[in-house]
Amino acid sequence: MICSVAGVTTPGAPPAPGLRDRKKRQTRAALAEAALRLVAERGLDQVTVEEISAAADVSARTFFNYFASKDEALVGDPAGGGVRLVARVAAAPPGQPVLTTLRHALDEVIDEIRADRELWSLRMEVVTRNPALLPRLIAGNAATEQAIVDVLAARLGVGPDHPYPRLVTAVAGAALRAAMTRWATHRDDRDLADLADEAFAALAAGLPEPGPAR
């Protein structure tokens, strides 16, 4: 009776995972990892949900309790980091330039991607080799993108139909994707955060062309 403190939810700190949650995370991770590994080996159409489930030691029906589709298991994280991203945009200092705000808001996302480097490298490889997935990877951000558009419009005080928030959000997303593609393809190279910085700097400078002389 001394310390059944496990139930208390301390706002601010993770409130004691609990066996059940841990198992769920494990199952989800196992399914995603198995899906990525098998698809990387054989190709998207040569892997069935049944095989993925078998590799993760669950039934095929359970697979669909975790992911709405085979694709979702591969591209992962729908809206997981999205809400935090929106929150970070909303919480940025008011006067800050929009591109700076967006770039800083992405820090957290970028850190998470770097933390799961193995997984993300595999994921980018699978996506580039199965272009059918690329739209899914982008679409996952569709809802988040709209939310950011709304937040930016409010921050700038311009009304929800003003073209600027939509343009800058779409463009920033494109810049991040370009940086991620570059990072994933020859990854021995630079840090993802640096590549993102470069891309955003180029945006702010009006996309100056690389000097042909020197």
Partner DNA sequence: AAATCACCTTGCAGAGAGTGCAAGTTTTTA
Partner DNA sequence: TAAAAACTTGCACTCTCTGCAAGGTGATTT
Residues in touch with its own copies (CB under 8 A): 97-99, 131-132, 134-139, 142-143, 156-158, 161-164, 166-168, 170-171, 173-175, 177-179, 181-182, 185-186, 195, 198-199, 202-207, 209-210, 212
Which residue reads 């709209």 in tokens?
146
Give the position of tokens 């899906």.
Answer: 35
State yes or no: residue 32 binds DNA (CB under 7 A): no
Contact between 194 and DNA by CB under 7 A: the answer reads no
Nearest to 82 by CA among 53, 104, 109, 46: 109
Q: Are 53 and 63 in contact (CB under 8 A)?
A: yes
Could you tell me which of 113, 197, 101, 199 has the C-alpha nearest to residue 155? Answer: 101
**Per-residue mark of binding to DNA, 75-114 (x: CB under 7 A):** ----------------------------------------
**Which of its own copies, DNA, none is residue 170 near (CB under 5 to 8 Å by kind)?**
its own copies
Residue 56 or 176: which CB sits closer to its own copies? 176
Asked if residue 118 binds DNA (CB under 7 A), the reply is no
User: What's the rounded Cα separation, in Å, for the pair 30 and 39?
Assistant: 14
Query: Applying CB under 7 A, does 8 fall inside the site for DNA?
Result: no
Residues 43-82, interacting with DNA (CB under 7 A): 47-50, 57-62, 64-66, 68-71
Task: Choose among its own copies, DNA, none what residue 48 binds, the Cβ cut-off being 5 to 8 Å by kind.
Answer: DNA
The listed partner (DNA, its own copies, none) that binds 159, CB under 5 to 8 Å by sort, is none
In whole angstroms, the minimum distance from the beta carbon of 132 to its own copies comes to: 7
Task: Identify the DSSP state of 130.
Answer: -
Q: b/e map of 32-45 (b: 16 or more CB within 10 Å)?
A: bbbbbebbbeeebe
Instruction: Give the C-alpha distances (Å, rounded to integers) separating 105 from 81, 122, 183, 209.
Output: 11, 25, 19, 27
Q: Do residues 146 and 203 lie in contact, with contact meaning Cβ atoms separated by under 8 Å? A: no
CB of residue 142 to its own copies, shortest distance in Å = 5
Kindly determine how many residues on this chain lie close enough to bind DNA according to the rule CB under 7 A: 26
Instruction: Write the CB contacts of 83 (distance below 8 Å, at least 6 apart in sequence).
Output: 144, 147
Residue 1 binding target from DNA, its own copies, none, CB below 5 to 8 Å by type: none
